[in-house]
A and B are shown apart, each in its own frame.
Chain A
Amino acid sequence: MTEPAEPQRITPLRETLTEPQTELPRVTTGGEWGRYLRVFLTFARNSLIRDMTFRADFIFHCISSIAWTAMNVGFYLIIFRFTSMIGEDTGWGQDEFFLFLATVWFINSLVQAFFMPNANEFSELIRTGGLDFALLKPIDTQFLISFRRIEWSALSNFAVGLLIAGISLHSLATREEAAFYPSPLSLLLYGFFVACGVAIMYSVMICLAATSVWLGRNQSLYDFWFYITNFSRYPMEIYNTPLGRPLLGLFTFVVPVLVVVNVPARILARPLDPRADWELPLAVWACVATFGCVMFSRWLFRHSLKSYRSASS
């Protein structure tokens, strides 16, 4: 049998590669942090390009998110037609509560924009073996799978949160009784504890996603997220009943999602002084819980990768 003639589509290769194999020089500007920042920005950029490609989907997503927020706002406005405060003497009047709600939107939108699509995809990467490629890259695997995709449309709720917070703060500052402006320190602490809240939610999500390695499939992430955020989106005073206390303990100390919104919202919605005895320890606990959650989730994630089996080629 003779070899078929070489197809005409194949053009001759160039004579030689211009550069011989040498030690690959590496970009060192800004060190490792600089590299991680650049990768993150490229992820953000690529996600934006992708979202723009499917612009109708992007716009629908924004509209549906904002509509859901508007329905919630309407719902609580109705509630406040029947009561002036959530619970007796809790300090959660309408303006304060809407600041609380704004904090919920901030944290939710940040988690949904940066982590939710990635954590959800992680389960799929494990099932299909797509995680192989993430494990090959010379960069922290948890970082790589946590920030791969950014859902920019989820940030529309962040903008709505800003609007609600602005209106509530203005209303607090101009009301006749006990008007106040948050101090710069309050704003600084607020930002810090919102970041802590996002970190706690991220950790819970990573823990849940990591279990996919052992379960093979874990599609309950969105459901679980909905259950958890349902608990965290109300002031913790409402759990102060005989039936609610076990929940209060569970969601403050074991899965500390109650501190996620409560701590920052409480700081912004009232003057820094005076404060109840338990508020400072709660804030300190929020810091400890954040650190603990991040460390535990990282340990669990790394541990889970050891059991990764990949999937058929």
Chain B
Amino acid sequence: MRTLLTRAVRALAVIALLGMLTMALPLLLTGDPAVAVLGVEATPEQLAAFTAALNLDASPPERFAHWLGGAVRGDLGTSLVTGAPVTAEIGERLPVTLELLLCGQLLALAITVPVAMRSAWRPGGVVDRISTVLAYLLLSTPAFVLGLALILVLAVGLAVLPATGWAAPDDPVEHLRHLVLPVLTMGLTEAAVLVRVLRADLIATLRTPYILAARSRGLSPWRLLWTRALRPSSFSTVTLVGLGLGLAFGGSVLVETIFAVPGMGRLAASAIEARDFPVIEAVVLLSGVTVVLVGTLVDLVYGVIDPRARHAAAH
């Protein structure tokens, strides 16, 4: 119970500090932020309106308190560029990014679990070596390079898929065709990381006595891996997949830029370019809060799933 309370207090402290840090961002601009954004030709009325709209005269803690007060009521301010409420902008973009992320993570898991199992079963064997080399190659390929390579092969070379763009789900076939390349890019990049992690954890589990006992009873390798070894080996992988969802708010900039997908990442990038502070602040803060909450939840879920973790925390 005490650990639960300390966790909660710490999570709240992190969110409060994060909020103030985010609200201090406009201070990085040299001189008056209003002049820096609107330019020297702006009239005093325009400057005053800008300062008032962003509440720039207040200190970062005050601005964060104001932001939080609005956020609780579902008001994240208005975009300086479009004049639309930030919640509406995000509501339009978030489903697109969430769909990409979920499909990407599912693909990554679909690749990771069998490959990591087969590799961990015979470390140093042929499959393990090939998968290790492939994982290293993928790990060393940035997402924007992998995306361009996929475009070059599948869209330009074979011409089976559209290179960029997005289609609404109203047209399922076109929607899926536009989904393939971004999801492949995300899934392959993620799988390279996950395979290494899950493989190492599985190898450690397979060395434990209870696995040896199960093997000596004659359990088939695949059954052993699926029913006995996978669960206790999956914690790091689960954490990584969970934290990947924190990316929903802005972390998918690269993939969305390469494939011209109108998601959160593109929203963040264009907001940064236009110095649209209400949108930037919302993206950074929502992303941060998601990461903190997921991190705290994963910590708590550990204790529920694995008694050993509960035990370790008490010491």
Indicate, yes or no, whether A interacts with B: no
